[in-house]
Amino acid sequence: MIYVYFLVAIAIVVAAQRVGNLRAKRGLYFALGVALLCAPIFDRNDATFNVLADAGIFVILALGLNIVVGYAGLLDLGYAAFFAIGAYTYAMMASPQFNLHLPFWLLLFLAAAFAALFGIILGAPTLRLRGDYLAIVTLGFGEIVPQIFQNLTKYTGGPNGIGALDFPSFFGRSFGQNTIPYYYVVLGLIALVLLFANNLRDSRLGRAWMAIREDELAARHMGINTTAVKLAAFALGASFSGLAGVVFAAKLSLVSPDLFQFQVSVLIVSMLVLGGMGNVPGVVVGALVLVLVNNVVLPQANVIAANVGLHVDFGNYHFFIYGAILVAIMLFRPEGLLPSRQRKEELHHAAA
Amino acid sequence: MHEFLAQLVNGISLGGIYALIALGYTMVYGIIGLINFAHGDVYTLGSFFALTILTALGVSGELHGVALVVDVAIALIGAALLCGIVGVLIERLAYRRLRNAPRLAPLITAIGVSFILENIMQVWKGPSPVSFPAVVPNPSIAVAGVAIGAQQILLVGLAVVMMVGLQLFIHNTRLGRAMRATAQDRDAAQLMGININKTIMLTFLIGSALAGVAGFVSGVYYQSTWFFNGFGAGLKAFTAAVLGGIGNIGGAMLGGFLIGIIESFATWKFGGQWSNVTVFAILILVLVFRPSGLLGEAVFERA
């Protein structure tokens, strides 16, 4: 059953990308939105919506990173750090840890702001670096943040993290153990993030990002304040990650430093690379495909293998899958599986 | 004072390993401008190759006399050669097609290669640390009250010999000159009749072989290895290369020893859990304030 959701969503997004007719496109997205909103009425399987909510969290992450990497062309290899900052914001302010019990909805904003602030703190001194150096600096930042959360045992619970986080509540009604409320929160956030991502792309700021991606020197000479514009990309991308972190922490009711390692950053980069950096539908599809593989296909493959007496743990092959995606796509289809037309032409032009 | 010297000795030993790995980063960066993210994993592969060879030779503990020399030499050279071959294969299969692609494409590919190698090693040797036989006896001598082990002397000695050899090779042979020329201007070098593909292959061969040597040495020194070792060690070695001035061979050695010493002191003063934070903070600070590194400007020549 879970496959139906993923495959239908992927199929609709791909179809919408293919049709040229704007009305047909809108119709398809509208139908998908309505279907997703109504799904819990007909399907009461909590586990399904658990996976879908997780998928949604990764869609938010991928869309956020897409602003930084896809639009502005700044490779950020430490994106999980902002995810961690969002998650720990919720964990520290809505748990018995300090006996603070701030509401979930307030913390969504606070975490987004915190993450954006850290994005600026990291970005301000580093953004004048060349692309590959910037990638390594962000990687270093991504390593430092979870390590600091792990070391400050007194405040963050150290390697064990913080547990027993508050359940969010909506007009006085607690989410409790249900996953469906999280599913709706995630859908709402995706709608918000999509609105931002789509409108930004066609805004002055979005054009400035793409100009920087194509040729920073030329962009600067056209009068773009490259530092400010890059900082905006960093801050916005980070704030999306902070939002995702809050929902992730609340849903899991637990945070620990090992949830935000380098692999998570690379997983999100893989989603972008697979789907097509810079193209919103592509990024959504990339995120859905990888979550489907990680959370559904591989565990089921384990069960099937165990049934036929094979002792293989396909969970051991996550790294291999991300690695193979990065290598294969970069070598054979650098624009990703579902690219925007401009990006495709750019990349093929650059390679020629 | 005694503790200070002991930590210094530790740091220099650790630094020897970082310096050997950093050479590979700096050579590859110098010649094709790529941060070869998979290089740290080639280093781990080196320790696994050495372990496999030693197991095949039936070695499981300390060796003495002729057997010591012969078996260590076989394992060392074998690991270096196999790593060299892996490095050349990676270049051929993953990087060559992207030589003229936008800058970030080969970096993303390199991260992919790194993940693939890690996964292969995880499946090959398991997800937990693997013990490595203490092949080299470790009697220690006391200098100013600090015990220096034979393994530490061997490690640093081997690292220094390799580096001096590399310097001589790059500055005194035709192939070395070809490498320097390719690093300076690939197109001009090609016009001068240098076979670019061969030269780049040679760079990967040497850099990866040095990582293999580092892998063997670290296996002997720590008596254990782990499929994920290369990620941290690789990042620190890259930090070393940047600190010294990337593209600069002497800088990589200097940076390697400095990073080793810094890590060792950070562990001593702040505790082991802060050593990574310290090193990565240094990486960020160096890249932000002096991206050309310590020796980056004084020595323009790159290899």
Residues B72-127: tens digit of each pLDDT = 999 999 999 999 999 999 999 999 999 888 888 999 999 999 999 999 999 998 88
Do the chains contact at B283 and A136, CB–CB below 8 Å?
A: yes
**Closest chain A residue to the Cα of B127, Cα to Cα:** A316
Quick one: pLDDT at residue B297? 53
Tell whether B278 lies on the interface with A, counting CB pairs under 8 A: no
Do the chains contact at A351 and B283, CB–CB below 8 Å?
A: no
**Closest chain B residue to the Cα of A137, Cα to Cα:** B284
The pLDDT > 90 percentage for chain B reads: 66
Do the chains contact at B108 and A269, CB–CB below 8 Å?
A: yes
Tell me the pLDDT band of A211, cut-offs 50, 70 and 90: very high
- Residues of chain B contacting residue A319, judged by C-beta atoms under 8 Å apart: 115-116, 118-119, 122
How close is the nearest chain B Cα to the Cα of A185, in Å?
33
**Closest chain A residue to the Cα of B107, Cα to Cα:** A132
Name the residue facing B107 among A126, A132, A140 (closest C-beta).
A132
The pTM of this model reads 0.93
| CB contact set of B270 (below 8 Å; sequence gap of 6+) | B278
Quick one: pLDDT at residue A347? 65
How close is the nearest chain B Cα to the Cα of A127, in Å?
9
Do the chains contact at A269 and B111, CB–CB below 8 Å?
A: yes
User: For residue B303, is pLDDT > 50?
Assistant: no
Residues B169-188: tens digit of each pLDDT = 999 999 999 999 999 889 99
Quick one: pLDDT at residue B258? 95
Question: Which ipTM score applies to this complex?
Answer: 0.90
Do the chains contact at A129 and B288, CB–CB below 8 Å?
A: yes
Do the chains contact at A319 and B115, CB–CB below 8 Å?
A: yes
Tell whether B290 lies on the interface with A, counting CB pairs under 8 A: no
Question: What integer is the mean pLDDT of A171-176?
Answer: 84
Name the residue facing A137 among B100, B273, B284 (closest C-beta).
B284
| Burial (CB count within 10 angstroms: exposed 0-12, middle 13-18, buried 19+), residue A98 | exposed
User: For residue A346, is pLDDT > 80?
Assistant: no
Quick one: pLDDT at residue B295? 82
Higher pLDDT, B115 or B145: B115
Do the chains contact at A151 and B109, CB–CB below 8 Å?
A: no
Higher pLDDT, A352 or B34: B34
Name the residue facing B103 among A131, A151, A327 (closest C-beta).
A131
Question: What integer is the mean pLDDT of B273-299?
Answer: 81
Q: How far apart are the first and last CA of chain A?
A: 45
Quick one: pLDDT at residue B67? 84
Residues B214-244: tens digit of each pLDDT = 999 999 999 999 999 999 999 999 999 999 9
Question: What integer is the mean pLDDT of A144-171?
Answer: 91
Q: Which of residues 33-52 of B touch A (CB under 8 A)?
A: 33-35
Widest distance between CA atoms in chain A = 65
User: For residue A121, is pLDDT > 70?
Assistant: yes
Average pLDDT, chain A: 90
Tell me the pLDDT band of A340, cut-offs 50, 70 and 90: confident
Question: What integer is the mean pLDDT of A161-187?
Answer: 90
Widest distance between CA atoms in chain B = 59
- Looking from the CA of A179 toward its CB, the CA atoms found within 13 Å total 18
Quick one: pLDDT at residue B173? 94
Quick one: pLDDT at residue B64? 83
Do the chains contact at B287 and A136, CB–CB below 8 Å?
A: yes
User: For residue A25, is pLDDT > 50?
Assistant: yes
Do the chains contact at A133 and B120, CB–CB below 8 Å?
A: no
Quick one: pLDDT at residue A205? 95
3-state secondary structure chain A: CHHHHHHHHHHHHHHHHHCCCHHHHHHHHHHHHHHHHHHHHHCCCHHHHHHHHHHHHHHHHHHHHHHHHHHCCCCCCCCHHHHHHHHHHHHHHEECCCCEECCHHHHHHHHHHHHHHHHHHHHHHHCCCCHHHHHHHHHHHHHHHHHHHHHCHHHHCHHHCEECCCCCEECCEECCCCCHHHHHHHHHHHHHHHHHHHHHHCCHHHHHHHHHHHCHHHHHHCCCCHHHHHHHHHHHHHHHHHHHHHHHHHHHCEECHHHHCHHHHHHHHHHHHHHCCCCHHHHHHHHHHHHHHHHHHHHHHHHHHHHCCCCCCHHHHHHHHHHHHHHHHHHHCCCCCCCCHHHHHHHHHHHC
CB pairs under 8 A between A and B: 124
Which range (A47-56, A294-303, B257-266) has the least confidence? A294-303
Torsion angle in degrees (nearest 10) through CA of A78, A80, A86, A87:
-140
User: For residue B286, is pLDDT > 90?
Assistant: no
